[in-house]
Amino acid sequence: MTTITSQDNYLTYTRGLRSWLFTLDHKRIGVMYLVSVLAAFLLGGVLAMLIRLQLLQPEGLLFRGTDSSVFRTYNELFTLHGAVMIFLVLIPGIPGALGNFVLPLMLGAKDVAFPRLNLASYYLYLLGAALALAAIFLGSVDTGWTFYTPYSTQTPGAVVWLVFGAFILGFSSIFTGINFIVTVHKLRPKGMTWFRVPLFLWGLYATAVIQILATPVLGITLLLLILERMFQLGIFNSYYGGDPILFQHFFWFYSHPAVYIMILPAMGIMSEVIATFARREIFGYKFVAMSSLAIAIIGFLVWGHHMFPNGQSGPMNVIFSGLTMLVAIPSAIKVWNWLATMYKGSIALRTPMCYALCFLFLFPIGGLTGLFLASLTTNFHVHDTYFVVAHFHYVMIGGTLFMFIGGIHYWWPKITGRMYHEGFAAFCCLLQFIGFNLTFFPQFIMGTHGMPRRYASYMPEFQIYHVLSSIGAFLQMTALVLVALGLAYSLWRGRRAPANPWGGSTLEWECSSPPPHDNFESTPKVGRPYDHSHIIWNPAVGGYVRKG
Amino acid sequence: MNHCVTHLLAQASFWLEPAASTSAQEHDRVFYFVLYVTGFFFALVVALMLTFVILYRRRKGGERTSGPTHNTPLELLWTGIPLGVVIIIFVMGLNAYLSFESPPSDALLIDVEAKQWAFTFTYPNGATSEKLYLEIERPVLLQLHSADVTHALYIPAFRVQRNAVPGRTTEMWFKPVELGSYHVFCTQYCGDGHSVMTTEAVVLDATAYSAKLNELANIFVDAATKQPLPMAEVGARVAKSSGCFQCHSVDGSPGQGPTWKGLYKHDHRFSLAPPGYVLTTGDDDAKWEAYLRESILEPGAKIVQGYQNVMPPYAAQFSGTPYKDKKLTAIVEYIKSLGNPGSPPR
Ligand SMILES: [Cu+2]
Ligand SMILES: [Cu+2]
């Protein structure tokens, strides 16, 4: 074990604003991503609160009136909420923030393969975010984050700005993907064969494959959309000879795989957290690793399930329904293997593990309700209702976001060098779990009773569900604010973190907390991942150390 | 509206409203099958998770763990079982879907036009309505198209939904089996009025249905008193149901098109018209009426100064049959009734 004094870490290595803005250190870039993503998350959350406020009353609480133009502001709110959460939070979140920080550490490397590209990716993220936010002030956008034509080519407002922002964000995502793929290929230490790569990295690797293959399609689609809007070329607008369904195909060809860009890294964190807190080698390592790749590949072939009632041909519907059913299998494999990892383990209910248990509860609900949407019969009933809204929030929030926050807690001691308050953090997790279910479970019921999505006003019989959902949302917001306060407090008053507070067996726990600028003094030796037998508790350090 | 509420409260189940069509009955069978199967697997996952958390919680000094690290037969088993289950779900879904896709040949054809933000239903006898009228036990085939952006027609009680896509015609069919009135929603986001693009589907018995269609067809007669209505009044309704008021006002307020208030018999200026054509207060009724008919059937022929050529032609709606022609006459009478030639030119 290397012990370095706390003065000498990546945070204190150099000082001043410039040393951050021009840093090539993957850890600092990771931290900058983390701060930016959390800021975007706050914005997305505030927008969600406004949406839930509006829906407290059937005729609308904030925007109401006899003329439907009063609803435009509501439509802008849900558009921005979706765009911010997807493009600024969920897609870049785990890879950009945690991936950047942890990936080289897990490889025992000094940095990613292309540090400059890494910084460029961060600045493109900022630029994309700035363009998207500029759209709010330049006329706003009411198309929904899906930008369906021909509405998006006709409605007034700053559609071009937001779309161009998403286009730029796509490049940021591609840069991260390229960097991660090359790093995993080239910078693995001696002894780390492909089947000894930590599962978080398998998750990031599979994600990176999707990022570089699918995102260019989004880029082209968004450019065509801009051209169509500015020059009426007749690509997507039937009035000029184009086809609106073509846009939907292009859009979902990216945006369905994007769902896996969001969930795969979260599944990677799941594997890390469960292995560490159950002190067990991951059960069925190869199946867990390969299922990530399977998801990445099959995930490319299911996009048409977003378009069953939209006018796509019957045979296409049948094919896409079948393929969509298949993509459920690798996820199921992962869930079984996580459970089997817990079997005969030594399970410590620390906060990251609490988040992992939430995931094991919420993600199956999200995944299994996907079968209702994949089945052709039931899709025609619940398509574009709140059932869909509930389904994807169970996957994206219950899955991705819970593990993002779980991962932040898991690596918090490593990133900041401080321990947060365990009891308080676990309490916040519980609060969030309750708030989450209260928000989104009633939405399933609304959906099967026929409540359409993207409605600014609704039939009075749905009010009870909407009120429950709003209360849940406010509870979640409270919980998240408490999480943030708890973490912030730890920066100031938290106990200093040992190198390995949880007994993790991957390499990032070998260097001190926070890591020194160069991560490791010498490249560490690697054996089987998730072998906890030689990692033992040392009361003197207040953490775990390697035996011998 | 009220009817819908009482209907829901009376019979709603936890997950689904009562099935009011044959497609809904088929849907509900599949829905509950998927619900029970997925419910079982969910319960299994949560039960295992809780059991392990309790059974294998970390005890003091108990950091040593045992247990297998892999087991290929087990992996294959828990890959195979879910695979079998999703195949069954897929086949069940496919079966019902194939029947959704093959409308019976005796289905009643109803044309649906979706437009920001209302649906217009046109029946085989030419009648049109804003509500969807259906006959019990009689299959219907809806042909949907859109006049502007993409919309979708969704009737939860029948478990059917289909998009209306600009530039193409989509179809869906179903057979209502319960009397009553049901919500109809637009489920494809279509702009400001998306959430008010709702109406009702009313299922009637055979006698009431044919009476209703006749009544709808005969817009020239008052439904209650059976007396002929004044033409101008009929014209006002036709104009409303045809969507003219999206661009035209009748109170002088500006819009995409010229207001109809005081339009009749006022000096006109055109940005486009055949050379030498003029239209003034002094021209006789025949010339004015001919102009009005032409501006509705073929708006591009002459363009009023200060306006764009954006009005769609209405020849298909208001010419070709005596009935359609009579509707046009009604609109013209209505526009005439809004003009008062005595007042100063606008
Ligand atoms: Cu999808
Ligand atoms: Cu709509």
Instruction: Give yes or no for residue A536 having a pLDDT over 50.
Output: yes
pLDDT tens by residue, A237-270: 888 888 999 999 999 999 999 999 999 999 999 9
Lowest-confidence region among A132-146, A195-209, B3-17, B148-162: B3-17
pLDDT in tens, B30-60: 999 999 999 999 999 999 999 999 999 988 7
pLDDT band at B3 (very low <50, low <70, confident <90, very high): very low
Whether the per-residue pLDDT at A100 is higher than 50: the answer is yes
- pLDDT tens across A377-432, in order? 999 999 999 999 999 999 999 999 999 999 999 999 999 999 999 999 999 999 99
Q: Which bin fits A525, alpha (ψ -120 to 50), beta or left (φ > 0)?
A: beta
Q: Are B119 and B152 in contact (CB under 8 A)?
A: no
Give the mean pLDDT of A152-156: 90
pLDDT of residue B12: 54
pLDDT value for A479: 97
3-state secondary structure B162-227: EEECCCCCEEEEECECCCEEEEEEECCCCCHHHHHCEEEEEEECHHHHHHHHHHHHCCCECCCCCC
Token pair for A184: 């995993």
Write out residues 139-168 of B within 8 Å (CB-CB) of A: 148-150, 152, 154, 156-157, 159-163, 165-168
Q: What is the pLDDT of residue A456?
A: 95
Q: How far is the CA of B52 from the centre of ligand 2 (A)?
A: 48
Say whether A68 and B192 touch across the interface (CB within 8 A). Answer: yes
CA–CA distances in Å: residue A63 to residues A68, A157, B31, B58: 10, 19, 36, 53
The answer to whether residue A5 sits within a structural domain is no
Taking alpha carbons only, the member of B211, B231, B235, B232 closest to residue B223 is B211
pLDDT over threshold 80, residue B177: yes
Ligand 1 centroid, distance to B225 Cα (angstroms): 56
Q: Which residue of A has its CA nearest to B169?
A: A311
Q: Out of B16, B56, B185, name the one closest to residue A347 (CB).
A: B56
Could you tell me how far CA B11 lies from the centroid of its own chain?
A: 25
pLDDT digits (tens, 9 = 90+) for A60-98: 999 998 888 899 999 999 999 999 999 999 999 999 999
Does the pLDDT value for residue A9 go beyond 60?
yes
What confidence score (pLDDT) does residue B227 get? 78
CA atoms within 13 A on the CB side of B292: 23
CB A391 within 8 A of CB A369: yes
Tell me the Cα Rg of chain A. Answer: 23
Distance CA(B282)–CA(A376), nearest Å, equals 65
Give yes or no for B74 touching A (CB within 8 A).
yes
Maximum CA pair distance of chain B? 107
Beta bridge partner(s), residue B174: B140
ipTM, two decimals: 0.93
Q: How far is the CA of B161 from the centre of ligand 2 (A)?
A: 12
- For residue B66, the chain A residues in CB contact (below 8 A) are 344
Distance from the Cα of B181 to chain A's closest Cα (Å) equals 14
Interchain contact, A283 vs B86, CB within 8 Å: no
Q: What are the pLDDT digits (tens) for A269-289? A: 999 999 999 999 999 999 999
Burial class (CB in 10 A: 0-12, 13-18, 19+), A484: middle
Give the ligand whose atoms come closest to the C-alpha of residue B152. 2
Please give the pLDDT value at position B5: 46
By CA distance, what is B153's nearest residue in A?
A: A309
B156·A450 Cβ contact <8 A: yes
Alpha-carbon distance of A467 to A175, in angstroms, equals 42
Which residues of chain B neighbour A71 with C-beta distances below 8 Å?
192-196
Residue B61 has pLDDT above 80, yes or no: no
Whether residue A538 has pLDDT greater than 70: yes
Residues 6 or more apart whose CB falls under 8 angstroms from that of A198 comprise: A106, A271, A272, A506, A507, A529
3-state SS record for A258-284: HHHHHHHHHHHHHHHHHHHHHCCCCCC
**Where is average pLDDT lowest: A164-168, A543-547, B197-201?**
A543-547
Task: Please check whether residue A321 touches B, CB under 8 A.
Answer: yes
Q: What are phi and psi of B111, to 5 degrees?
A: -90, 135
Residue A72, pLDDT score: 93
A314 assigned to some structural domain: yes
For the cut 90, the answer to whether the pLDDT of residue B291 exceeds it is yes
Nearest to B174 by CA among B198, B156, B188: B156
Complete domains list, chain B, with CATH = 3-55+72-99 (no CATH), 108-217 (2.60.40.420), 231-337 (1.10.760.10)
Mean per-residue pLDDT of chain B: 88
- Predicted pLDDT at A2: 42
**What is the pLDDT, as a whole number, of residue B18?**
92
Q: Tell me what the mean pLDDT of segment B81-97 comes to.
A: 93
Asked if residue A277 is part of any domain, the answer here is yes
φ/ψ of B144, rounded to 5, equals -105, 140
Tell me what pLDDT residue A239 has. Answer: 84
Measured between alpha carbons, how far is residue A158 from residues A133, A139, A142, A154 in Å? 10, 5, 9, 11
**Yes or no, beta carbons of A454 and B41 under 8 Å apart:** no
**B70 falls in which pLDDT band (50, 70, 90)?**
confident
Q: Which residue from B minimizes the CA distance to A315?
A: B98
Residues 263-302 of A with CB under 8 A from B: 278-287
The predicted structure's pLDDT at residue A67:
84
Distance CA B132, CA B141 (A): 12
| A419 located within any domain | yes
Q: Does B36 touch chain A (CB under 8 A)?
A: no
Matching residue, tokens 């969920």: A90
Q: Which ligand is nearest the CA of B149, by number?
A: 2
Task: Say if A8 falls within a structural domain.
Answer: no
Q: What is the model's pLDDT at position A548? A: 62
- What does the alpha-carbon distance between residue B201 and residue B110 come to, in Å, rounded to a whole number? 13
- What is the distance between the alpha carbons of residues B173 and A520, in angstroms, rounded to a whole number? 67
Which pLDDT value is given to residue B8?
46
> A1 lies in a domain?
no
- Count of residues in chain A: 548
Looking at chain A, the whole-number percentage of residues with pLDDT higher than 70 is 99
Across A237-251, B212-226, B250-264, least confident range:
B212-226
CB contact under 8 A, B194 and A454: yes
Cross-chain residue pair A342–B15, CB shorter than 8 Å:
no
Range of the domain at A473: 25-546
Give the domain CATH number at A369: 1.20.210.10
Would the CB atoms of B183 and A459 count as touching at under 8 Å? Answer: yes
Query: What would the two tokens of residue A129 be?
Result: 């975010």
Q: What is the pLDDT of residues A192-233, one digit of tens each?
A: 999 999 999 999 999 999 999 999 999 999 999 999 999 988
Cβ–Cβ below 8 Å for B188 and A348: no
A125 exposure class (CB count in 10 Å sphere: 0-12, 13-18, 19+): buried
Establish if A316 touches chain B: CB-CB under 8 angstroms: no
B186–chain A Cβ distance below 8 A for any pair: yes
* Of the partner residues A243, A332, A380, the one whose CB lies closest to the CB of residue B161: A380
Question: Residue B1: pLDDT above 80?
Answer: no
Please identify among residues 435-474 of chain A the ones whose CB lies closer than 8 Å to any CB of chain B: 445, 448-450, 452-461
Q: Is A68 among the domain residues?
A: yes
Residue A373 lies inside a defined structural domain of this protein? yes
| Average pLDDT taken over every residue of chain A | 93
pLDDT band at A190 (very low <50, low <70, confident <90, very high): confident
Whole-number pLDDT of residue B11: 47
Q: Are strands B151-155 and B180-186 parallel, antiparallel or unpaired?
A: antiparallel
Residues within 5 Å of ion ligand 1, judged at the Cβ atom: A 256
Number of domains present in the structure of chain A = 1
